[in-house]
Amino acid sequence: MEFGSISFLFYFLPIAIILYFIVPAKFRNLMLFICNIIFYAWGETAYVILLLISIGFNYICGWDIASHADDPKKSRRSLAVAVIFNVLLAGFFKYYKWVLGTLNVLFSVEIAYRELPIPLGISIYTLQILSYLIDVYRKKVRPQKNLLNFAVYVSMFPQMISGVIVSYGEIESQLNRRAVNLNKAGEGVCFFIRGLAKKILLANGMGMIVTEIMNMGFGTYAMMTAWVGSAAFMFQIYFELSGYSDMAVGLAKIFGFQFRRNFAYPYMAVSVRDFWGRWHVSLTNWFHEYVYRPLGSDKKGVARTIGNTILVWSMIGLWYNDSWRFLIWGFLSGVLLVMEQYVYGKYLEKLPKAARHIYILVLLLLGWAFFFNTSVSDSFRYIGSMFGIGVQGFLNLQTISLLGSNWLLFLLCIVGSTPIGYYVLDRMVYNYRNGRGRGGIACLIYLLMFFLTITFFVSGFDSSFLYFSF
């Protein structure tokens, strides 16, 4: 089930909220768990059993690791078994087709294999489980006594498909006790509507431009059209991922949880390092804490730091998708981070902020080509088009028409990518002179946003999520 679907918005969510609010507080986790399982089973019935087995296995693993707390060797062995099992399980579903496909191409063989869809949210809940197990091993958290609380943490539907990775330590206390009230729920609804509007109004609009340009075919468009296509995708992916993150944060608030925000105006960055501090923060934090740090981070010499950085960012690329394009994208991100750190970072800092901003935007526009093209060769061909190779001139009527008919959408996306958009909305909703909210105006704005979104949605806009199978 997707957040932007009729069944979710008008059936599942209202019923889940009503039931959650009317049951006594001690049954709320049970109610939430039931909702999680229904959400999961909606489109992935076969994988519910796998999710339940995974919950049971990791709950036991947490206790197994903790039971050897006085024997580091046994504790480490227990952790290794748990980590290997979880990585192999997620790795099997995400990568076995890619690995076998690559072998078929490399050795010109035809190894036939059975195909299975990727279980919903497996990349998210695997990272969450690993954070729990590693933190139990590091004695940063105690193993969860209550199986239901652990099951709620692993299966929580708001973050299951949104890309928000909540480490166990962040949420441990909230699993036992959290404030559930109408004020917080109202705030959550506002977050949710903003996220939905970002997805349906902005991301989908930009997606249509990307599709239009991709359907034109190589060699039929001008060089600037290629840049427009990449810019459209840049906004599409940002508003899609950040929209879903906002929806997840909002839903979590409704159910009394507090998730951290996942995006902090990434296109305002002035370097690659700055970008990664703003983009998909929960993912980069996870890899930093549970992969980069154990590898020695930057404390074991320059060569090791370079290797660790490139390795971790290549893994991030592969986490997004099982494809060479994403591996190359992650690898290049790692290389750029290293270059900034050891080669030209000091010169970059001396440049005016606007120049640094242009630097990162150009890199991003080039880099996103690996996301929206369907093969490595097409990605490089598209990048070639952006530099005038095999195109129909620099600029033509097609480019002007694309920009002319979508200027308002581009303007909204540009404003929405900066703090200005949020600032304007915030000033309309809150009166900072008396420190009180303007309830009536807030209701009007968010209702309008919601109805506009629904209007676009029911008139045939695609609600599917770019990375539904994270």
Partner 1 sequence: MREQKKEKPLKKHQVVLKVVKYALALSALAYIAVLLLFTGGSSQSFEQISKGVEAVIDTDALTKMTVQDLKRYYGLNGADYEGVSLYVSKSSLSAAEVLMIRVKSVDQIAEISTAIEKRMDVRREDFEEFAPEQVNLIDSATVQIRGDFVFFTISDDAEQYKKAFTDSL
Tokens representing 430 are 């809150």
From the CB of 101, what's the least distance to partner 1, in Å? 8
Q: Where does residue 393 fall: left (phi above 0), alpha (psi -120 to 50 degrees), or beta otherwise?
A: left
- Nearer CB in complex with partner 1: 75/453: 75
- Nearer CB in complex with partner 1: 112/458: 112
- Nearer CB in complex with partner 1: 3/287: 3
Are 149 and 176 contacting, i.e. CB atoms less than 8 angstroms apart? yes
| Closest to 50 measured CA to CA, from 108, 112, 133, 120 | 120
From the CB of 160, what's the least distance to partner 1, in Å? 18
**Contact residues for 367 (Cβ-Cβ < 8 A; gap 6+):** 329, 332, 333
- Nearer CB in complex with partner 1: 54/398: 54
Distance CA 141, CA 133 (A): 9
- Nearer CB in complex with partner 1: 153/465: 465
| Closest to 168 measured CA to CA, from 128, 121, 139, 137 | 128
**Contact residues for 88 (Cβ-Cβ < 8 A; gap 6+):** none
Which residues would be at the binding site for partner 1 (CB under 8 A)? 46, 49-50, 53-54, 56-57, 60-61, 63-64, 67-68, 71, 73-74, 81, 85, 89, 92, 97, 100-101, 111-117, 464
- Nearer CB in complex with partner 1: 15/99: 99
Are 157 and 198 contacting, i.e. CB atoms less than 8 angstroms apart? no
Residue 66 identity: A
From the CB of 411, what's the least distance to partner 1, in Å? 31
From the CB of 363, what's the least distance to partner 1, in Å? 31
- Nearer CB in complex with partner 1: 148/414: 148
Residue 431 β-bridge partners: 436
**Contact residues for 445 (Cβ-Cβ < 8 A; gap 6+):** 425, 428, 429
- Nearer CB in complex with partner 1: 60/179: 60
From the CB of 79, what's the least distance to partner 1, in Å? 12
Are 113 and 100 contacting, i.e. CB atoms less than 8 angstroms apart? yes
From the CB of 298, what's the least distance to partner 1, in Å? 35
Residue 337 identity: L
Helix (H) or strand (E) holding 437: strand 436-437
Distance CA 129, CA 62 (A): 10
From the CB of 68, what's the least distance to partner 1, in Å? 7
From the CB of 425, what's the least distance to partner 1, in Å? 33
**Contact residues for 311 (Cβ-Cβ < 8 A; gap 6+):** 295, 334
